[in-house]
A and B are shown apart, each in its own frame.
Chain A
Amino acid sequence: MADEVILLNFWPSVFGMRIRIALAEKGIEYEYREEDLWNKSPLLLKMNPVHKKIPVLIHNGKPICESLIAVQYIDEVWKDKSPFFPSDPYERAQARFWADYVDKKMYSIGRTVWTTKGEEQEAAKKELIEMLKVLEGELGDKAYFGGENFGYIDIALIPFYSRFYTLETFGNFSIEAECPKLMGWAKRCHKRESVSNSLPDFHEVYDFVVQLNKRLGIS
């Protein structure tokens, strides 16, 4: 029986990108449906009644919400190809820890950088750079966070690369200058087809954020 896989998404969402990358890594065909977040579809509201958010992965009619949970699900269902996790429980716990670290703060701090000015923005910028440096430390000299293989932490973090240009432009700083190794990692990941096909154009993301700020009355 053929699997029916649908992804409800919004193209600039870093969370949606995680699922797109995961599906691509496993070679899974799926139907992509773009949501209008100002006019959410009945399907989205039915599939994610608790949070009413994208992304939602729908597998044979059953919804999986929250991007990291969906990535783990994809890894467990299509387990014969490109595992995202190491097999050792301690290494798996480390992978979960770092993905959770990214999840806790990256988006909200980033959002503060592109929606505020002055002292608030400077503080957020400082916190963001600190976060990126911590991640760079964890990466060390490895090709990927998991070692030689692209895996869970890489999937959790690489979508934020699509926001780097936006952050640098709004925050007036260079992530490459602050974290050269992390940029090296990001470019390495972006060479993977699963990533380059899943991440939008960086300038388009910037234009989107500018438009969104206008729409929300943020000058």
Chain B
Amino acid sequence: MSTDEVVLLDFWVSPFCLRAKIALAEKGVAFVEQEEDLFGGKSELLLKSNPVYQKVPVLLHNGKPMCESTIIVHYIDETWPSPPLLPTCPYERARARFWADFIDKKVFEAGGKTWQSKGEEKEVAKKEFLEILKVLEGALGEKDYFGGDSFGFVDIIAIPLTSWFDSCEKFGLFKIEEHCPKFSAWMKRCLKRETVAKVLPNPEKVLEFVTSMRKMHGVE
């Protein structure tokens, strides 16, 4: 019987935390969620476990901390090998890492600009965001998931970010389905998975959160 202690320092709306939750769920690993109050005061444990960035998520496995969501997902995949999230072939692994890196570099920031900006800036942001999704559509091709037939690493890196897309669409004034139907179909496919559906936050609550962020940024 496993006596693993797995704790996730979390913030409910963070898509980065969601990546870890989905990966752990895919592996059937039980864990404790510890919600952090990022605006009120970060816990001592968070500051001690992630002194460099002081951010969530942090995964603590038997007390040892790991930071940065993509690195955490790698760790989860290596520590609990079944079912595998990354392919076995080195070239396909490199491809998966490439797309995870592309998503990490581009999607959240571009999405953020669509709900943070006004007027002409918003139009530019919308165009940029949709172009990024089109590139991802190209990577997806005719496949069900980014890795092929099975839900895997890149899907886990990408799908949590989509929990903010309702807000991007509402404030950016566009519909992803109209511009990127394949990407939209992939989103719906992933949302049917229990491991994803169970952890993604309520879209209305995310919208409320983004609305309050807009006020904070002086956009509302």
Tell me, rounded to whole Å, the shortest Cβ–Cβ distance linking A139 to chain B. 14
Out of B72, B75, B79, B93, which one reaches A73, CB within 8 Å?
B93
Q: Does more than half of chain A's interface fall in helix, strand or loop, or is it mixed? A: helix
B64: A residues at CB distance < 8 A: 90
Tell me whether A64 and B52 are in contact (CB under 8 A). Answer: no
Interface residue total, chain B, C-beta cutoff 8 A? 21
Looking at the complex, which of A25-33, A34-42, A95-103 is the stretch in contact with chain B? A95-103
Nearest chain-A residue to B80 (Cβ)? A89
Counting CB contacts under 8 A, is B71 at the interface? yes
Complex alpha-carbon distance, A92 and B74, angstroms: 9
Complex alpha-carbon distance, A100 and B68, angstroms: 9
Counting CB contacts under 8 A, is B209 at the interface? no
Tell me, rounded to whole Å, the shortest Cβ–Cβ distance linking A153 to chain B. 13
A212: B residues at CB distance < 8 A: none
Counting CB contacts under 8 A, is A77 at the interface? yes
Tell me whether A90 and B61 are in contact (CB under 8 A). Answer: yes
* Interface bits B58-86 vs A (CB < 8 Å: 1, else 0): 00010010111001101100110000000
Counting CB contacts under 8 A, is A62 at the interface? yes
Tell me, rounded to whole Å, the shortest Cβ–Cβ distance linking B20 to chain A. 12
A143: B residues at CB distance < 8 A: none
Interface residue total, chain A, C-beta cutoff 8 A? 21
B39: A residues at CB distance < 8 A: none
Tell me whether A69 and B91 are in contact (CB under 8 A). Answer: no
Tell me, rounded to whole Å, the shortest Cβ–Cβ distance linking B65 to chain A. 9
Tell me, rounded to whole Å, the shortest Cβ–Cβ distance linking A130 to chain B. 11
Complex alpha-carbon distance, A31 and B66, angstroms: 38
Complex alpha-carbon distance, A62 and B93, angstroms: 13
Out of A64, A77, A89, A134, which one reaches B75, CB within 8 Å?
A89
Counting CB contacts under 8 A, is A50 at the interface? yes
B5: A residues at CB distance < 8 A: none
B41: A residues at CB distance < 8 A: none
Q: A97-B66, A100-B68 are in contact. Are A76 and B75 (CB under 8 A)?
A: no
Q: A89-B79, A97-B66 are in contact. Are A64 and B94 (CB under 8 A)?
A: yes
Counting CB contacts under 8 A, is A109 at the interface? no
A64: B residues at CB distance < 8 A: 91, 94, 98
Tell me whether A97 and B98 are in contact (CB under 8 A). Answer: no
Complex alpha-carbon distance, A101 and B50, angstroms: 12
A62: B residues at CB distance < 8 A: 91
* Interface bits B158-197 vs A (CB < 8 Å: 1, else 0): 0000000000000000000000000000000000000000
Out of B72, B75, B97, which one reaches A72, CB within 8 Å?
B97
Tell me whether B90 and A77 are in contact (CB under 8 A). Answer: yes
Tell me whether B52 and A134 are in contact (CB under 8 A). Answer: yes
Tell me whether A50 and B102 are in contact (CB under 8 A). Answer: yes
Complex alpha-carbon distance, A92 and B64, angstroms: 13
Nearest chain-A residue to B77 (Cβ)? A89
Interface residues of B in 90-131 (CB under 8 A from A): 90-91, 93-94, 97-98, 101-102
Counting CB contacts under 8 A, is B135 at the interface? yes
Tell me, rounded to whole Å, the shortest Cβ–Cβ distance linking B79 to chain A. 5
Tell me, rounded to whole Å, the shortest Cβ–Cβ distance linking B23 to chain A. 13
Tell me whether A76 and B66 are in contact (CB under 8 A). Answer: no
B71: A residues at CB distance < 8 A: 93, 96-97, 100
Q: Which residues of A contact B (CB under 8 A)?
A: 50, 59, 62, 64-66, 69-70, 72-73, 76-77, 89-90, 92-93, 96-97, 100-101, 134
Q: Which residues of B contact A (CB under 8 A)?
A: 52, 61, 64, 66-68, 71-72, 74-75, 78-79, 90-91, 93-94, 97-98, 101-102, 135
10 contacts between A and B (CB under 8 A): A50-B102, A66-B98, A72-B93, A72-B94, A72-B97, A89-B78, A90-B61, A90-B64, A93-B74, A100-B71
